[in-house]
Structure 1
Amino acid sequence: MKIRTISLIISSTILVACSSANKVQTIAGPETIVPLHQEGERAGRYHNLYPGEKTYPISCEHDCYPKNASLVCEAETENCQYQGEQLTPQLNTGFTVRWLGHAGFMIKTPNGQQVVFDPVKEQFDSPVDLAFRLASGFYRKPGDWLTNDELKNLAAVMYSHLHYDHFNKADIEEIGNQPRYLTPLGMADNFPTGGFNISEMAWYASTKIDDLTIHAVPAHHFSSRILVPFIYEDNDKASWNGWLLEQNGKTLFFAGDTGYSQHFKDIQQKYGEIDICLMPIASYYSEDNGKWYRYVHTTPEDALTAAQELSCKVMIPWGYGNSSWQMGDHSSHSPLLRLLHMYDEMDSQIPLYIFNEGESVAL
């Protein structure tokens, strides 16, 4: 009797394990780009479209962070709220955008689908979370998060890359296996098991969820994951993407973490002008290695230049904020101060819409 019971338990365990296996598909084709090194010591690892030395159209050199009356802070550019007048562009796209904080966005599409970009609820996955707290003494304040009803009705979850501030396994387990997960190439191996439906997408690959078209587009970044505390491996074994949503002839672009490069012009050439652009403006500053930080992250002026090259009808910045990680920034809101300053200096004509965490707008 005991043997039969043990056998049933083992059989049930095997069935549960099998049913929890993730379903992974790769979406690529003759017109897509798979940016893999083909030979040498980097063979099989991903690379950017435009590597090598960069030049930048414009750079702020002096007095880049003047105070702005629209930004009300508890301390010097810390714990702030943007309270400036917002002029909502009358685009009539049907998209509603809510900022969850850092790179996280909740999007309601014109026809009612709910999708999210880079949702991260807390700080880091364990045990890296504890190691980071002990090493730095910093703990990120949580941003906004999805309601239970929103979690139940998600159509898709899109990740730009697997860095901890954009991809958290604990959040995936909370979101569950009902939505479809869209990722860059090589990223599915980093998911927990649980019957998740994962589509890895090459650059310029497209897929549909009902009548919502989702395009994977290039970014200029890198890929790495801390395997255990204090052991950091820059391996580029997974790629990195931006995303473009298209429905009813209207478009929304999420750049992902990216530095400035020719890829913005390429995207505009392929898809035309873009209605809504969600653009990163943070993590570009470092006293020790500022050149590298900017190489893989856009400064506020880089983001404004990119938005111009993308022909954006409105630009929504992200990366700053009270729930940011403040990695490569002077403070939580210094990137926003620099953006407001450079917007005037560059005489940018692209409308800005500026969020505090948890706010939303229908465009």
Structure 2
Amino acid sequence: MIFALLAGCASQHRVTVINNENYPVKYAESGQSEAIFSNAYPGKKTYPVTCEKSCYPAHPDLICEEPDDRCHYIGKQISPVLQTQFTVQWLGHASFLIKTPDEQTWLLDPVSGQFDWPVNWAFVVSGGRNRNTPNWPTAAELEAVNAVFYSHIHYDHFNKSDIQAIGAKPNYFVPLEFSDYFPSGNYNITEMSWYAQTKLGEVNIHFVPANHFSNRMWVPFLYSDYGKTLWGGWVFEHQGKTLYFAGDTGYSKHFKDIQEKYGEIDICLLPIASYYHPEEGNWFRYVHTTPEDALVAAQELGCKVMIPWGYGNKSWGMGDVSAHAPLKRLLYMKERLNSKVPAYILNEGESISL
């Protein structure tokens, strides 16, 4: 049974919870005092294909001012004729501006600058690089935003200062247990479980699984909010046409599950970065798809076009060889795997109507 529950909280947010009780995702591990959210397919993964060496050859369609950095994709692209009437603009990292077929304006994981304090300061002190200012909607475009969607609570996907700038006018759609993390105000928030659904205008909204994790606060030996909030992706459907935003995710069987439930996906926004860290072994790949994982996922999803994200001149370059290395690896592995899924490569700020 799927039900909606209206809830109030001290912050005065208007919170609606839409829960699919047929799909439990919260579990109590041995020795834990309370249940936390878990992946649908936890445990060790088997990956269909892995690039072992020489994974980042130069590509004639990727022009870089520095090795794998300050790059621009110039390749000739053929836009599939899908007639979805969705327009997709990539703002940078995981942030997208979406124009829907019924003329709504939506934001996905909008983060316009650095992380929220104090992580912005700690990240740079620990050796991370400041992010270049990303492309961002104009004031008029922000005023027109009807809805904002978040995939999970991590700082590079959810930024309180951006929520305050966007304001309380739009509807906010988030995973379960998310609303307490919003800044103070009177926001209209809908929390959703996996495979819960709702509707905004003429577009059906579905929250779907991802293979990831959540945490935002960690005080050594005192407190951690690991697993307190859910994570996932979004499927938007209008008159049989679908757009899928995966959020941060590693490769797992959930891609096949999504295809089985919603059919072949017209537009797939898939992550291809943050899979590499020389000191963390396979952990980064467990929660972030490699470019070849994303290509396999696109095949399993039945994507009619794949739009990759996560790389770029205005990313943080987290867990990667360099800012554009994931795109070089994608271009190489797409040819090596003879992938038939069309890939439309956007530079940050560019858009496409499909």
- Secondary structure of the residue aligned to 1:183 is strand
The offset of 1:241, in angstroms, is: 1.1
**Structure 1 CA distance for aligned equivalents of residues 18 and 286 of structure 2:** 28
Alignment of 1:335-346 (within 5 A): 335-346=326-337
Mapped contact 2:128–2:316 kept (Cα < 8 A): no
**Structure 2 CA distance for aligned equivalents of residues 254 and 41 of structure 1:** 35
Structure 1 residues 91-138: Cα deviation after superposition (integer angstroms, max 9, x where no partner): 111010000100001110111111111000001011221222222251
Deviates more, 1:142-151 or 1:51-60: 142-151
Residue aligning to 1:276: 267
Matched, 1:154 2:172: no
The offset of 1:233, in angstroms, is: 3.8
**Structure 2 CA distance for aligned equivalents of residues 23 and 330 of structure 1:** 43
The offset of 1:234, in angstroms, is: 6.0
Residue aligning to 1:235: 226
**Structure 2 CA distance for aligned equivalents of residues 74 and 19 of structure 1:** 51
**Structure 2 CA distance for aligned equivalents of residues 94 and 312 of structure 1:** 16
**Structure 2 CA distance for aligned equivalents of residues 234 and 140 of structure 1:** 26
Matched, 1:59 2:50: yes
Alignment of 1:36-115 (within 5 A): 36-38=26-28, 40-42=30-32, 43-115=34-106
**Structure 2 CA distance for aligned equivalents of residues 280 and 30 of structure 1:** 29
The offset of 1:290, in angstroms, is: 2.9
The offset of 1:168, in angstroms, is: 0.3
The offset of 1:324, in angstroms, is: 1.1
Residue aligning to 2:3: none
- Secondary structure of the residue aligned to 1:225 is coil
Alignment CA distance shift 1:131-1:309 (3 Å): same
Matched, 1:173 2:169: no
Q: Which amino acid aligns with 1:330?
A: V
Mapped contact 2:107–2:148 kept (Cα < 8 A): yes
- Secondary structure of the residue aligned to 1:312 is coil
**Structure 1 CA distance for aligned equivalents of residues 246 and 281 of structure 2:** 21
Residue aligning to 1:120: 111
Mapped contact 2:107–2:147 kept (Cα < 8 A): yes
Number of aligned residues: 345
Q: Bigger radius of gyration, 1 or 2?
A: 1
Residue aligning to 2:318: 327
Alignment CA distance shift 1:19-1:217 (3 Å): closer
The offset of 1:146, in angstroms, is: 1.5
Deviates more, 1:344-353 or 1:136-145: 136-145
TM-score, length of structure 2 as denominator length: 0.94
Unaligned runs of 5+ in 1: 1-17
Residue aligning to 2:176: 185
Alignment of 1:243-258 (within 5 A): 243-258=234-249
**Structure 1 CA distance for aligned equivalents of residues 301 and 12 of structure 2:** 39
Residue aligning to 1:15: none
Q: Which amino acid aligns with 2:31?
A: E
**Structure 2 CA distance for aligned equivalents of residues 228 and 30 of structure 1:** 33
The offset of 1:356, in angstroms, is: 0.6
Mapped contact 1:155–1:209 kept (Cα < 8 A): no
- 1:34 pairs, out of 24, 30, 33, with 24
Mapped contact 1:260–1:298 kept (Cα < 8 A): yes
Structure 1 residues 177-231: Cα deviation after superposition (integer angstroms, max 9, x where no partner): 11111111111111111100111100000011121111000000000114579x9
Structure 1 residues 316-344: Cα deviation after superposition (integer angstroms, max 9, x where no partner): 00000011111110000000000000000
Mapped contact 2:20–2:195 kept (Cα < 8 A): no
Alignment CA distance shift 1:225-1:69 (3 Å): same
Mapped contact 2:101–2:238 kept (Cα < 8 A): yes
Mapped contact 2:133–2:314 kept (Cα < 8 A): yes
**Structure 2 CA distance for aligned equivalents of residues 279 and 305 of structure 1:** 11
**Structure 2 CA distance for aligned equivalents of residues 309 and 38 of structure 1:** 31
Structure 1 residues 52-100: Cα deviation after superposition (integer angstroms, max 9, x where no partner): 1110000001110000011111100011111111111111110100001
**Structure 1 CA distance for aligned equivalents of residues 236 and 229 of structure 2:** 22
Residue aligning to 2:196: 205
The offset of 1:150, in angstroms, is: 1.6
Q: Which amino acid aligns with 2:25?
A: P
Unaligned runs of 5+ in 2: 1-8
**Structure 1 CA distance for aligned equivalents of residues 68 and 345 of structure 2:** 16
